[in-house]
Chains A and B, each alone.
Chain A
């Protein structure tokens, strides 16, 4: 297997000025039309988390790159080279890997501890796209990309594709765009689909994990469309009461350590790490599945009542705060 490292640029570095320009544009657009909302401290926190993520990413890159190249050069099945079609294949396979990393990022608490940062804003604008984790390298996420290296695609090509993928996902973090043309909505991830992903309405939980191609969610049964009658409310099911970047970055890790420390058995210790977020042995907290079940039960109950009082109306009528 070829061991010389392909020297490709990091696309996200070139995109940073574009990101800043587009955030500024969205600010002005929101100011003029009131269609997008910002909050100063939230904006600062989101962008500061993005900067921190870049710094940490640079510090941990050597380990990730070395591991990937070691797998590719020792165990790669084929040598695909660096033709254009290999880049296209890498992009599609990397996006498929992203789907599963992202899905596990919501369904396994260990990976959620890193990913929760991205969902911790109650706002949804372009700065939310930059609210990225500092602790991604502490999770087993990279393992999901190993099959691509084992297949024989050089890691540099996969990382280049991942950079393009990340840039694509920037523009979908906005309320300024309603819906794209129907064919586009069918194939690609869009602002509408991704708003659902960031929503904490019980109806929308754990949906739309796609990076670029929405077809993965349609294939694997996790697609939920945005409904006009149920506007998205953004954030966590239990929102953070702070803008402090350190608390934002590490709160779930602290929660895991506390839970493991006070766990009564090794089974519980392991489950606190690999079970879905919210899992507890005594069901004293709620997982997203439990939240959805409770919501459905309330919906059924309120549908049976002849004349519900205002406070017990179906939750879709509760406006976003």
Chain B
């Protein structure tokens, strides 16, 4: 493959991705129903009652959420909109998650190469709730 065909391929890729962006905009926000449905899909072993009663801490942009389970205080699930799809991670040990306070936002991290740490803007009240989960590393 020469430089010209490499450049041509790159241009074609960008053009097609732009066409996809224009024709198929990903606009659907995360809703509690959508979050529950996806956690049930990823972790079907979680009983329905736990899903119904979980506390959903939704980010301001409604693109990510942290879910706490009332009957299982050690459990935690994170959901994140990835384009028009939803990705979930569920932990039975809350310590698997790191939560850093960054003023208006928090950074959610985990030891998972397939799910890099991400920043969420959340309401002050939600943030307080979230930061109670773990000792906070102030930055």
Contact = CB atoms under 8 A, between A and B. Distances in A.
B48 A242 contact: no
B73 interface: no
A255 B113 CA distance: 8
Nearest to B8: A16
B-side interface size class: 35 or more
Nearest to B64: A241
B85 A44 contact: no
Nearest to A28: B23
A109 B1 CA distance: 31
Contacts of B83: 39-42, 243
B87 to A, nearest CB: 4
Interface stretch (B14-22, B95-103, B121-129, B130-138): B14-22
Chain B contact surface mostly: helix
Nearest to A125: B20
B82 interface: yes
A16 B114 CA distance: 30
Contacts of B40: 311, 318
Which of B17, B21, B87, B115 is packed against the most chain A CB atoms within 10 Å?
A: B17
A-side interface size class: 35 or more
B20 A241 contact: no
B61 interface: no
Contact of A241 (B12, B13, B87): B87
A67 interface: no
A233 B42 CA distance: 12
A241 B115 contact: yes
Contacts of B23: 27-28, 30-31, 38
A107 interface: no
A44 B44 contact: no
A250 B47 CA distance: 34
Contacts of B21: 40
B32 to A, nearest CB: 13
Which of B12, B36, B42, B47 is packed against the most chain A CB atoms within 10 Å?
A: B12
Contacts of B82: 122, 239-243
A27 B16 contact: yes
Interface stretch (A46-54, A97-105, A168-176): A46-54
A292 interface: no
A66 interface: no
A127 B13 CA distance: 10
A20 interface: yes
B85 A31 contact: no
B45 interface: yes
Given A24-B19, A27-B16, A122-B85, A321 B114 contact: no
A27 B17 CA distance: 10
Contact of B20 (A38, A311, A319): A38
A294 B44 CA distance: 9
Nearest to A54: B1
A37 B84 contact: yes
Of all A-B residue pairs in the complex, the 10 with the closest CB atoms, nearest first, are: A311-B48, A241-B115, A40-B21, A44-B17, A39-B83, A38-B20, A43-B20, A47-B13, A122-B85, A31-B23
27 contacts: A16-B9, A20-B12, A20-B16, A30-B23, A30-B24, A37-B24, A37-B84, A38-B24, A40-B18, A40-B24, A40-B83, A43-B17, A43-B20, A48-B13, A122-B82, A233-B41, A239-B85, A241-B87, A241-B89, A241-B112, A242-B82, A242-B115, A254-B113, A255-B113, A309-B48, A311-B48, A321-B38
